[in-house]
Amino acid sequence: MDNRIKVVVTLAIVAASFWLYHYFGTATVAVTSEPAGAQVIVDGRVRGVTPLSRLELDSGSHRLEVAHSFYQTHVEGLSLDRGDHLVRHFVLEVGDGTLSLLSNPRGAWVEVDGERLPDLTPTTLQTTAGEHTIVMGQAERRAVAQVHTLKAQQTLEVNFNLNIDPHGSLTMMTSPRNAKIEFVDKDLVYTPQMRLPIGEYTVRVSRPGYEAQTFRYTVQYGDNRHDVKLVRAFGALVVTTSPADADVQVSYVEGGRTRSKSYSTDMQLPLGALELRARAIGYRTAFRKLDLTSQGATVHFDLAAMQVQVGRVFSDALSVGGQGPELVVVPAGRFVMGNASGPPSEQPAHTVVLSQPFAVSRFEVTIGDYLKYLQDRGLALHERLDSADVTHAVAYVSHADATDYADWLSAQTGHKYRLPTEAEWEYVARAGSQQTYFFGEDPEQLCAYANVSDAATGKVYRQWQTLSCDDGLVRPGPVGTYQPNEFGVYDIYGNVAEWVADCGLPEYTLASDDGTHAYTGGSCSSHGVRGGSWDSQAIEASSSYRFSVSSANDDRGIRLLRVL
């Protein structure tokens, strides 16, 4: 054989033997992972990174580790024979590590990836491996933010030095006091003496009805106080009414007090909440609330005429059965309340306009009327009235009793009953007269119209000062015994004094000009009674006389007003 042929054959045999040895005499492993890029470690020696398509290993046992910085290391044993060709694919699970969070000074708040931790430093957090954005901060210290890489199964210490951030306190003194203070373009809520980093801030101070102020203010180290005085802003208001001569009252709050003015076309009104009231005699009063802006406002009131029959006598049916007290319709009108030459409590005399008609008890509330209320409420009549005739005026009732009786009638009838105000009572008592009594000036004529302290009373109570006329009764008697006034109302003087809604004896300077709002300020430990009673002298039974008491007695009863 030619030597060249021998050489070729020999090389072929060697190559085949080498291939056969490596293919059948050793083993191979192919390793892939999710994610790729994991280290492949065999028997403690790094042999490459995934994907690894052919790793030659001797036959026998081996320890295979697949490790990635942010994932749990996978470990398994391999047992290989010559000629084995294994394929391994691993899905790695995200690993955990521990952050040891420290700060100088201690007690800093910590945010990890935007989430605030519940504890302050020093603290630890077990979390997933990977990159984390860590922020630490403390009051009046500059916050620090850093990105740190946490490997799986690692405990990583993170320690921040927090530098001082100079602050100052800020207090805004505003006039008016309850103005709103805001920081423009800053997520800050103002509170007096709040601490702020030193620097410049845009501040806005506002309050409805005032011109807002926006300004730059520099907070310096220490205590900062700044005074802001807002200027009142005004708007135009145009009000028209039908009928055209209706009176319009404008009310608003200024300096913590409610102020009321009669509307005029040239009046200046502050911006903010207003309440308007329009009234005209014989029409139903109307109210309107609005928020006046710098653009002004236009309001029109179309008042509804009240179609009533003045002097009509009627009563309302009760849901428990029977009828309520007999009522008479009283006209709307105006009168002068008080007495210009009387005692201080009756001054100053002033005009009151009652623009809406209403109904009033034709007689004082009788025992029979009141018994229906007591029976429905499960209450007992005062023991001193047990033997009295049911046609007599009820007595021994307190102001609270009278008010509750009115509320009961409202619920029973579906109509509004209440005690009259002092102004309403006096308007009814005068019945169009401006004299001492609705019938004139002579007190000796009282016996024809009222049960008062007269000659009959003087026979029993000899020490009393009495009238010389004789009304025939000593104590309260049947209602309607005497002559009525021009409104058809009986016993407005004498018999029993009648509770009114007002507290005590308020000064007339506090009275409302429409007479429909009772004065309820102060302690309200007493309430007014009007008209005098069976034991009253002539002056106490006049239209303008005022008196207040705090408890029930045998000379105090009830007359009610019913809203139409």
pLDDT tens, position by position, 1-41:
566 666 555 555 544 444 444 444 589 999 999 999 989 99
Q: How far is CA 119 from the centre of its chain?
A: 36
Instruction: Return the percentage of the chain with pLDDT > 90, whole number.
Output: 74
Task: For helices 399-413 and 367-377, give the axis angle rounded to 10 degrees.
Answer: 80
User: What's residue 21's pLDDT?
Assistant: 46
d(CA 228, CA 230): 6
Contact of 549 with 496, CB cutoff 8 Å? no
- The answer to whether residue 423 scores a pLDDT higher than 80 is yes
Section 452-471 average pLDDT: 79
User: What's residue 512's pLDDT?
Assistant: 78
User: What's residue 502's pLDDT?
Assistant: 93
User: What's residue 14's pLDDT?
Assistant: 43
* pTM for this prediction: 0.63
Contact of 454 with 447, CB cutoff 8 Å? yes
For the chain, give the mean pLDDT: 91
Contact of 41 with 52, CB cutoff 8 Å? no
- Provide CB contacts within 8 A for 129, sequence distance 6+: 69, 70, 71, 94, 95, 96, 97, 150, 151, 152, 153, 154
User: What secondary structure, in 3-state letters, does 376-431 show?
Assistant: HHCCCCCHHHCCCCCCEECCCCCHHHHHHHHHHHHHHHCCCEECCCHHHHHHHHHC
- The answer to whether residue 533 scores a pLDDT higher than 60 is yes
Work out the number of other CB atoms within 10 angstroms of the CB of residue 258: 9
User: What's residue 96's pLDDT?
Assistant: 92
Q: Which pLDDT tens digit goes with each residue over 282-313? A: 999 999 999 998 899 999 999 999 999 999 99
- The answer to whether residue 519 scores a pLDDT higher than 50 is yes
More confident residue, 409 or 456: 409
Section 376-383 average pLDDT: 94
- The answer to whether residue 160 scores a pLDDT higher than 80 is yes
Q: Which pLDDT tens digit goes with each residue over 245-277? A: 999 999 988 777 888 899 999 888 988 899 999
Section 128-132 average pLDDT: 92
Q: Burial of 416 by CB count in 10 Å (0-12 exposed, 13-18 middle, 19+ buried)?
A: middle
- Domains plus CATH for the chain? 3-91 (2.60.40), 96-161 (2.60.40.10), 167-232 (2.60.40.1120), 234-302 (2.60.40), 313-558 (3.90.1580.10)
Contact of 176 with 213, CB cutoff 8 Å? no
Element containing residue 372 per DSSP (H, E): helix 367-377
Q: Which pLDDT tens digit goes with each residue over 71-128? A: 999 999 999 998 899 999 999 998 899 999 999 999 999 999 999 999 999 999 999 9
- The answer to whether residue 417 scores a pLDDT higher than 80 is yes
Q: Which pLDDT tens digit goes with each residue over 181-217? A: 999 989 999 999 999 999 999 999 998 778 899 999 9
